[in-house]
């Protein structure tokens, strides 16, 4: 591919050249890898592989009958006194929240972590209408103050140091500079506690939408989702239409996989199963409940049975942690809120492959993501399909296609192959003391090769090619 | 056409389905309940591993003494639960309960040090307490105060999630909110350093009533 096809090239180099950031990404993901590994080991969860296969089947069944389950959840939520609101896109979600806030005379909204609302840039829209929308997950709160987007699905602020946090808190809250994470957390707790008690509307995401119960399931460790869904008068849950599962029983499969795959926890600290507003005999809880179900590009994925499984994702983040590309370039160099392997497959499908054609190529296809995915999404397979589509759409330009046809022609002809091999070996530089090649000189310094080498070093060519070594050894025997 | 009809229409076109069409049988599986000989011991062990504080009480007066020691004169709000009345916890000094309305209860929960409740079930294999929103288990008592104390009848400790979902096939049939609480509130959002009590209680006690 053309180096010019990679828009964030400079940004990626910046990330790669920042040793502090590299260490932060590496240690954070390594810790999550280690925790997951222990939690899904045979002695801790003997049924792990069966659960994965079952989770995949349940998701496939739900997605392949999605119209049925959406109508079911709609009627069940209504039966519990709540209301389902379907939204085509981000704007419709923001419109709904804005109008509701206006109609009910509410100004302050507390929000708990939700990737779906990140998708719709809800906060910007709300703020432009003089509504205050406060993120309440500690990491998300810090990001909101710093005007950044999440770095990781599960650990949104993993790129920030305690010193960054100190700066952000001092600048925005006017508090004295504090570098102890424990005290920083206390400051955030106190500030956000007031917001929880004052807010008229609480917005949460949903990890699962249980169709048969008309309920949303929210998992978290901090308690901010419980507060957002219990303290304000109105609770709005916002979820993508793919979050459905048929019944509460299925949680025995999904909850066992989600916490373990994400952070190695058998269960997160809080798992809330919420259905409708408070009932008549209940002493507290919201008086109104809305479930917003967003399409936002999801229906585009349904037609192709091979790529449909991209919608099975339960956002555990395991594929990010295990991805050698994510672990080097981090979260912010991906073009959208979803980063890592899952971002690489859903971003082009939600937005159209024309927008970020380089994305499906930013992978080594090592397969680590598919191996750890709790719902067994075959991410490499989907990446290959997308690569094919990008190429077929002509987005890669005629030069590259010609180059690869030529390459294929040479590879298919052994004589030509050894001829070109010999030529390349003849012209290749031979750095002193067996050092690796970092630069090519004329006539080999072609643009694509130079671009390739700008990221990698190449071992010097062997004195004798593999093929001729093979021949002479065979003869000697 | 509404967004709803558009979305359902696109889904049906993509999947080749008709409005009102039924579904193929869903993947079936059995909830297998592990047989655990000593659920109380396992619950305490797992709960403690999460930094929860387990206590055993062999009779109501022991439960009362335990809660009294935890409160140690600090202010508390208690749920109106028969178990709490029975043990005399509702009469402890500094313990408020039976509020005239939701607003009063909420304010008390926001100001006090300790929330005292029961839990409908507990799960041994994960050290989890299961609470349903109802008059005797308000949502905010286990959420707003920095310390949460729950009285748990030993007989209500289940093996685990499978056991719970067998007994309670549809939690929505009972309450608008079922919450599984597995240890104290925590975060690791700043430099992956574990900190307890970020929004929910940072200290959680389970007083296991071995007599009921
Ligand atoms: S694709 Fe799989 S591994 Fe990646 S976040 Fe989604 S569920 Fe987790």
Residue B129 main-chain phi, psi, to 5 deg = -105, 140
Q: Distance from the CA of B181 to the center of ligand 1, in angstroms?
A: 25
DSSP notation for A299-346: GGGTS-TTTGGGGG-----HHHHH-TTHHHH-STTSSSS--HHHHHHH
Cβ contacts of residue B164 below 8 Å, gap of 6+? B121, B123, B130, B158
In tens, the pLDDT along B69-98 reads: 999 999 999 999 999 999 999 999 999 999
Q: Residue A383 falls within a domain, yes or no?
A: no
Q: Left, alpha or beta for A315 (phi > 0: left; psi -120 to 50: alpha)?
A: left
Could you tell me the CA-to-CA distances from A411 to A96, A309, A391, A407, A450 in Å, in that order?
58, 34, 20, 6, 22
> The domain B37-209 is classified under which CATH number: 3.40.50.10420, 1.10.10.10, 3.40.50.150, 3.20.20.70?
3.40.50.10420
Instruction: For residue A85, list its beta bridge partners.
Output: A292
pLDDT, residue A5, reads: 47
Nearest CA in chain A to B31: A252
Q: Under an 8 A CB cutoff, do B24 and A273 touch?
A: no
Which atom of ligand 1 approaches the CA of A372 most closely?
Answer: 3
Task: Name all residues whose Cβ lies below 6 A of ligand 1.
Answer: A 261, 313-319, 342, 372-375, 377
Could you tell me the CA-to-CA distances from A274 to B148, B160, B181 in Å, in that order?
21, 20, 14
Residue A236 main-chain phi, psi, to 5 deg = -115, 120
Average pLDDT over residues A429-442: 83
- At residue A2, does pLDDT exceed 50? no
Does B133 contact A at CB distance below 8 Å? Answer: yes
- At residue A233, does pLDDT exceed 90? yes
Q: Residue A444 falls within a domain, yes or no?
A: yes
Does B27 contact A at CB distance below 8 Å? Answer: yes
pLDDT, residue B28, reads: 95
Contact A397, A2 (CB under 8 A): yes
Which residues span the domain enclosing A189? 43-299
CA distance A41 to A252: 18
For the ranges A60-74, A142-156, A396-410, which has the lowest average pLDDT? A396-410
CA distance A297 to A302: 10
Instruction: Give the tokens for residue A266.
Output: 């058998």
- At residue A90, does pLDDT exceed 80? yes
Q: Which of A24, A153, A266, A349 to mutate to test the interface with B (most CBs of B within 10 A)?
A: A266
pLDDT, residue A399, reads: 79
Q: Under an 8 A CB cutoff, do A270 and B181 touch?
A: yes
Instruction: Give the tokens for residue A159.
Output: 């790129």
In tens, the pLDDT along A235-261 reads: 999 999 999 999 999 999 999 999 999
Instruction: Give the tokens for residue A460.
Output: 């010097």
Q: Under an 8 A CB cutoff, do A277 and B10 touch?
A: no
Q: Residue A354 falls within a domain, yes or no?
A: no
Domain boundaries, chain B: 37-209
Instruction: Give the tokens for residue B76.
Output: 């508390």
* Same domain assignment for residues A284 and A433: no
CA distance A342 to A335: 12
Q: Ligand 1, from A60, A309, A319, A346: best to mutate by most atoms within 8 Å of Cβ?
A: A319
Q: Under an 8 A CB cutoff, do A28 and B171 touch?
A: no
pLDDT, residue A136, reads: 96
Average pLDDT over residues A433-441: 83
Q: Is the pTM of this model over 0.90?
A: yes
pLDDT, residue A438, reads: 84
For the ranges A65-69, A352-356, B30-34, B192-196, which has the lowest average pLDDT? A352-356
For the ranges A49-63, A69-83, A105-119, A210-224, which has the lowest average pLDDT? A105-119
pLDDT, residue A202, reads: 98
Q: Distance from the CA of A377 to the center of ligand 1, in angstroms?
A: 7
Boundary-marking domain end, from A251, A280, A299: A299
pLDDT, residue A397, reads: 73
Average pLDDT over residues A322-342: 93
Structure confidence at residue A8 as a pLDDT band (50, 70, 90): low
Window 150-209 of A, Cβ < 8 Å to B? 155-158, 160-162, 165, 181-182, 184-185, 188-189, 192-193, 196-197
Boundary-marking domain end, from A239, A268, A299: A299
A:B CB pairs within 8 Å: 249
Does B188 contact A at CB distance below 8 Å? Answer: yes
Residues written for chain B: 212
Contact A336, A24 (CB under 8 A): no
CA distance A192 to A137: 9
Average pLDDT over residues A328-340: 91
Residues A45-78 as b or e (16 or more Cβ within 10 Å = b): beebeebbebbbbbbbbbbbbbbbbbbbbbebbe
Count the domains in chain A: 2
Average pLDDT over residues A264-277: 97
Please list the helix, strand and coil fractions of chain A in percent, rounded to the nearest 5, in that order.
Answer: 55, 10, 35
- At residue A3, does pLDDT exceed 50? no
Does B93 contact A at CB distance below 8 Å? Answer: no
In tens, the pLDDT along A276-310 reads: 999 999 999 999 999 999 999 999 999 888 889 99
- At residue B188, does pLDDT exceed 90? yes
């Amino acid at each position: 591919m053309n180096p010019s096809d990679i828009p964030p090239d400079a940004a990626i180099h910046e990330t790669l050249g920042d040793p502090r950031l590299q260490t932060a990404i590496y240690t954070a993901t390594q810790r999550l890898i280690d925790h997951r590994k222990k939690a899904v080991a045979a002695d801790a969860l003997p049924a792990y592989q069966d659960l994965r296969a079952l989770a995949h089947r349940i998701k496939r069944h739900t997605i392949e009958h999605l119209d049925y389950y959406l109508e079911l959840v709609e009627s069940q939520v209504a039966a519990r006194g709540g209301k389902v609101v379907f939204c085509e896109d981000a704007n419709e979600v923001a419109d709904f929240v804005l109008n509701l806030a206006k109609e009910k005379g509410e100004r302050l909204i507390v929000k708990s972590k939700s990737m779906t609302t990140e998708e719709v840039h809800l906060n910007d829209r709300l703020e432009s209408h003089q509504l205050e929308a406060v993120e309440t997950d500690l990491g998300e709160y810090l990001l909101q103050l710093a005007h950044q987007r999440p770095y990781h699905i599960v650990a949104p602020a993993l790129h920030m140091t305690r010193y960054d946090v100190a700066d952000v808190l001092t600048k925005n809250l006017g508090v004295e500079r504090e570098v102890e994470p424990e005290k920083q957390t206390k400051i955030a707790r106190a500030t956000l506690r007031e917001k929880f008690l004052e807010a008229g509307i609480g917005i949460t995401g949903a990890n699962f939408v249980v169709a048969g119960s008309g309920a949303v399931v929210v998992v978290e460790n901090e308690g901010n989702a419980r507060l957002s869904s219990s303290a304000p008068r109105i609770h709005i849950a916002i979820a993508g239409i793919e979050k459905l599962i048929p019944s509460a029983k299925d949680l025995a499969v999904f909850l066992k996989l989600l916490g373990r795959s994400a952070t190695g926890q058998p269960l997160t600290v809080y798992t809330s199963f919420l259905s409708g507003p408070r009932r008549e005999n209940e002493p507290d809880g919201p008086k109104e409940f809305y479930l917003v179900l967003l399409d936002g590009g999801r229906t585009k994925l349904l037609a192709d049975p091979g790529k449909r499984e991209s919608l099975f994702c339960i956002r555990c983040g395991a594929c990010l942690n295990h991805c050698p590309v994510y672990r080097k370039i981090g979260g912010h160099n991906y073009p959208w809120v979803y980063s890592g392997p899952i971002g690489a497959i859903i971003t082009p499908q939600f937005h159209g492959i024309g927008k970020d054609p380089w994305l499906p190529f930013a992978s080594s296809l090592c397969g680590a993501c598919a191996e750890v995915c709790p719902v067994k999404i075959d991410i490499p397979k989907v990446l290959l399909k997308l690569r094919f589509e990008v190429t077929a759409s002509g987005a890669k330009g005629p030069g590259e296609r010609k180059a690869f046809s030529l390459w294929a022609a040479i590879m298919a002809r052994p004589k030509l192959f050894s001829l070109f091999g010999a030529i390349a070996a003849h012209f290749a530089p031979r750095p002193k003391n067996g050092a690796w090649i970092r630069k090519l000189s004329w006539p080999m310094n072609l643009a694509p090769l130079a671009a390739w080498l700008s990221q990698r070093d190449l071992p010097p060519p062997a004195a004798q090619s593999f093929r001729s070594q093979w021949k002479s050894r065979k003869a000697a025997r | 056409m509404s967004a709803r009809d558009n979305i359902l229409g696109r889904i049906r076109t993509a999947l080749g389905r008709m409005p009102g069409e039924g579904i193929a049988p869903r993947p079936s599986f059995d909830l297998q309940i592990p047989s655990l000989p000593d659920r109380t011991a396992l619950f305490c062990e797992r709960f403690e591993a999460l930094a929860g504080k387990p206590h055993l009480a062999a009779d109501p007066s022991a439960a009362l003494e335990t809660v009294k020691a935890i409160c140690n004169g600090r202010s508390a709000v208690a749920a109106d639960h028969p178990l709490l009345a029975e043990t005399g916890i509702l009469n402890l000094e500094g313990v408020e309960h039976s509020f005239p309305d939701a607003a009063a209860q909420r304010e008390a929960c926001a100001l006090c040090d300790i929330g005292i409740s029961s839990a409908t079930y507990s799960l041994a294999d994960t050290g989890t307490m299961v609470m349903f929103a109802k008059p005797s288990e308000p949502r905010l008592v286990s959420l707003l105060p920095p310390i949460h104390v729950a009285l748990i009848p030993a007989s209500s400790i289940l093996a685990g999630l499978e056991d719970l979902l067998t007994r309670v096939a549809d939690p929505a049939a009972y309450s608008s909110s079922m919450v599984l609480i597995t240890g104290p509130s925590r975060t690791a959002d700043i430099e992956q350093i574990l900190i307890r009590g970020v929004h929910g209680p940072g200290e959680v006690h389970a007083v296991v009533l071995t007599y009921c």
